[in-house]
Structure 1
Amino acid sequence: MYKQKQGLSRLLAAGAVAAGLTLAAPLVAEEVAPGTVLNAASIDSLLDKTLDGQPIRSVLVGEQEKMIREFGWVMNLTRATPPNVTPLALALTEKHKGEASLDADKRLVNYTTGVPFPDLDPADPDAGYKLVYNVLRFGWLGDAMNLQPLTFLIIDGKRGLEKEQGWVYRRFLMSGRMSEPHVLDKTIAKYEALINVYPNDTRGLGLLTVNYADGRLPDVYAYIKSLRRVRRLSSGAWADPVQGTDLLFDDTFGLNLDPTWYESWKILSVRKGLGVDKSILPPMDESASGEAKYPFMRLSEPPHWNFQPDNYEIKDVYELEGKPKNNHLVSRRHMFVGATLGAPKFYWQDHYDRKGEHWHTEFVGYKDWKWDDGQSGPTVTSVVGLDVQRLHATAFGYSTGFHHNPEGAKASDYSPEALPRMLQ
């Protein structure tokens, strides 16, 4: 009898331990359904749930949580899909793999085309520089871009839309091209122009920069409408504010510089982050007037700079830190760049002022697009640069008139001599 009681006691004790282990086991987090809205009202209930198995708390990058809680940012959470990478980009990368390198001054040398550094190792002390070269020196958005009509919406966070500005954005790569010849000029990396075309009181403002392959400061040109002449400006203008907007010239369309102009670049991590890769936003409606012309914006809702809810999915991203030199308005850029080979998209970035306080946030959304030359590749659908200290922003959405690799594009159409023609 004693032995039976002893055996029963052991059995009951073992059952209690098992029950305790069951109770102590962590619960599996609830997976959210596609289309779940992440906003200020829902964020507390969603942070510990998962999307594609990833805790939502862990895939909010930079100041995204702040923008949701304090500034009305909204995300439609959706399942991840592979980014669209132009097949030719991968073929050229494989063909020229291992050719490019950095010299002692972090300048890109021996580069022809393709992604210069396809095998990034975050432990490499030069990995940050290499990532920036991957973004800026290869035509993953096309060898040439001509984006117009392009309307900047200048927005006061308290009062709403202040003004509309018409711009022309053009970019033409002189090396790192997908088309042949891959290098048109070994000394020049690209031409890039951002020119205001309306209203008439600001028409002609803007700059064309000539970025050189050896890292020297750019040649900067402006069209002086009162003189009807093109004039060369100080090379230091590359980091100035774009007049009348919340953008700096070195962050137009994500980044516009040479990596060597900054003090340092560093990959902080490789992680998961939320970004817009397959946007569902509509284009600008050129036939409409007033706010109806911009169906992608929530202009009537404070703080007036937010886009309509778009699809956010989990992407593999590099967490990149750029530190400008002391003469720059920004002390640090905290950036989240797509880690898919051939698609280094700037999904999100935050800028901090010289005191180290959050100053700017820049968001870029993308979608798949049929380029003019028949290739399938990405285009930009939505961009906003917002100043959280002044409660002010500059935003734009895409137009059906956006052109990637437009037919007949040639360097002379993007050069300083072509500035007056860009105003037509």
Structure 2
Amino acid sequence: MQSMKRIRQTVVAGLGAFMTVAGAIAAELPEGTVIDKSSIDRIKSDTFEGKTIASLLTEKLEWQIRNWNLKLTLSHSKPVELNQRYKDCSKKYADQVKYDPATREVSGWVCGVPFPNVSADDPHAGDKLIWNFYYASPEGDIAHNRLSYLQINGDKGLESTQDWLFLRYYYKGRTSDDNHVLDDGSVLTKTLFVATAPQDVKGVGTFTVRYDSPKMEDTWAYIKSARRTRRLSGGAWMDPIGGLDQLNDDIYIWNARPSWYPKIKLLSRRWILASTDAKLGYDSTKKDPVEQWGRTTDLKNPPYWNPIQTWQPREVWVIEGTPPEEHPYSKKIVYMDVNYPKIYLGEAYDKKGEFWKFLNFHIAPTVGQDGSKVQSSIQGETIDFKARHATIFVYRQYSVNDKGIKATDMSLSQLEAIAR
């Protein structure tokens, strides 16, 4: 009996020692912890908000930490607040929305999220989730953004900066007022996207009319040398923006009608780290561009494109899209929040199936001029790892549902006026 008692005491003591060691090995990390190449192996088994760092890092994020000097500063996630009208729309109209597997098109959508309860077991889950994003990404009915593009050479640093205006006006799915549809409902959005400085690029840009149908967009570009506009082909949605690393299809990470992609599939549901509490960092009091933007991007240390923002745990859908053959990419993988249709990260692959570009957008909770609560993309990197080059956009100022902008302001003549 004494022998059995001693055995039990030894076992209990051993378990206690094991648990003490395990606790010392795996700890809950405090807010402000920095994940970098010097710390990643030491803290991968530790947790943040109850989830291991290993489980929160995507493959490409970890690869950048180890090989490209990326540093992630942890901060606690906050509940996402959305416009009540947006939520009411989803509840009121979702039952009448229909998905057609033959055409992969959607009918019956009025406003809000068309498919609020997508199951991972649904064979069309990938399509429906991207339709949610395409129709109902909560950026507001009018996005009025003045931004700068930073062109970054991964070996030499900041090459140049350009100022642009991005103005997108929704004609359908409007939640800022009771009139959800303007005009006859054939147009989904109109977008003005044009460079305003410096002088050598001023006027480069487009005016795009996006229809709520499989019909390709109508897009016009301003030709500086001829001082006139020219209509572009229907494939302009997959062309590069000016001389930047970003495609038109990379605006908001995904900028195509879902049915234009021959195949979209859901890969998984998981937790990741994403930048969802971003801060504007442009300092207009500084003259040196490196100092002007140094609070948003690490312009002093190679590869000069890594962001200076905080990162929070978010649960996401991982979705893979196969674009048409003429598209530069062979596939695009995106990471979209499961609670509302916002894409945080994207990966683009070349025609050989090799990793090519990384897209990372930083989100900021925003209140529109009408009081709407939305989630705005205020900074983002498109990194071309093959070219060792990046294009970063950073907002200097922005507004949502700007009361001074009318539907009549969205026109080809407006593009010409801005360009000239």
TM range (shorter): over 0.9
1:3 corresponds in structure 2 to none
Matches for 1:9-158 after TM superposition, within 5 Å: 9-19=3-13, 21-22=15-16, 27-28=22-23, 29-103=26-100, 104-138=102-136, 140-148=138-146, 150-158=147-155
User: Which of 156, 164, 169 is equivalent to 1:167?
Assistant: 164
Contact 2:206 2:219 in 1 (8 A): yes
The residue number in structure 1 matching 2:198 is 199
* Structure 1 unmatched ranges of 5 or more: 1-6
Shift of 1:216: 1.7
1:255 aligns with 254
Matched-pair contact (CA < 8 Å) for 1:145–1:170: yes
Q: Residue 412 of structure 1 contacts residue 418 of structure 1 at CA under 8 Å; is this kept in 2?
A: no
Q: Does the aligned pair in 2 maintain the 1:174–1:190 contact within 8 Å?
A: yes
Letter in 2 for 1:163: S
Q: TM-score, normalised by structure 2?
A: 0.93
Distance, in Å, in 2 between the alignment partners of 1:358 and 1:139 is 26
Count the aligned residue pairs: 412
Q: Distance in 2 between matches of 1:391 and 1:194?
A: 26
* Deviation string, structure 1 residues 317-343 (Cα, Å, up to 9, x no partner): 1111111122211111111111113xx
What's the offset of the Cα at 1:277?
Answer: 1.3
* C-alpha distance in 1 between matches for 2:379 and 2:8: 60
Deviation at 1:142, TM superposition (A): 0.7
Alpha-carbon deviation of 1:252?
A: 1.4
**Partner Cα distance (1:174, 1:273) in 2:** 34
Paired letter, 2:172: S
Equivalent residues of 1:157, 1:393 under 8 A apart: yes
1:323 matched residue in structure 2: 322
Other-structure match for 1:307: 307
2 CA distance for matches of 1:368 and 1:348? Answer: 17
1:91 partner amino acid? D
Comparing 378-387 with 46-55, greater Cα deviation is found at 378-387
Q: Output the amino acid matched with 1:261.
A: W
Map of 1:335 onto structure 2: 334
Query: Would you say the 8 A contact 1:170–1:193 is kept in 2?
Result: yes
CA distance in 2, matches of 1:194, 1:73: 30
SS at match of 1:398: strand
Q: For 1:381 and 1:95, how far apart are their aligned partners in 2?
A: 30
Once the two structures are superposed, residues 158-204 of structure 1 have per-residue CA deviations (whole angstroms, 9 ceiling, x without a partner) of 01111111111111111111123111142221112321222222222
- Distance in 2, matches of 1:87 and 1:301, equals 43
- SS for the counterpart of 1:161 is strand
Equivalent in the alignment of 1:270: 269
Q: Distance in 1 between matches of 2:286 and 2:13?
A: 66
Q: Which has the larger radius of gyration?
A: 1
- Give the 3-state SS of the residue equivalent to 2:414 in structure 1: helix
Residue in 2 that maps onto 1:236 = 235
Secondary structure of the residue aligned to 1:284 is coil
Alpha-carbon distance between aligned partners in 1 of 2:59 and 2:4, rounded to the nearest angstrom: 54
3-state SS in 1 of match to 2:390: strand
Percent of pairs with identical residues:
32
Distance 1:174 1:67 in 2: 40
Letter of the structure 1 residue corresponding to residue 5 of structure 2: L
Deviation string for 1:356-385 (max 9, x for gaps)? 111000100111222122223222222110
TM-score norm. by structure 1 comes to 0.92
The one-letter amino acid paired with 1:346 is I
| Counterpart code for 1:110 | G
Whole-angstrom distance in 2 between the partners of 1:221 and 1:365: 29
Aligned residues: CA RMSD: 1.8
Residues 225 and 180 of structure 1, relative CA distance in 2, 3 Å threshold: farther
- Equivalent residues of 2:186, 2:213 under 8 A apart: yes
1:97 aligns to what SS in structure 2? helix
The one of 168, 179, 204 equivalent to 1:181 is 179
For residues 335 and 137 of structure 2, the distance between their equivalents in structure 1, rounded to whole angstroms, comes to: 19
Separation (CA, whole Å) in 2 of partners of 1:45 and 1:120: 38
- Give, in whole Å, the separation in 1 of the partners of 2:267 and 2:47: 24
Q: Which amino acid aligns with 1:114?
A: G
Match of 1:395? 392
Distance 2:401 2:13 in 1: 65
Q: Which runs of 5+ in 2 are unaligned?
A: none
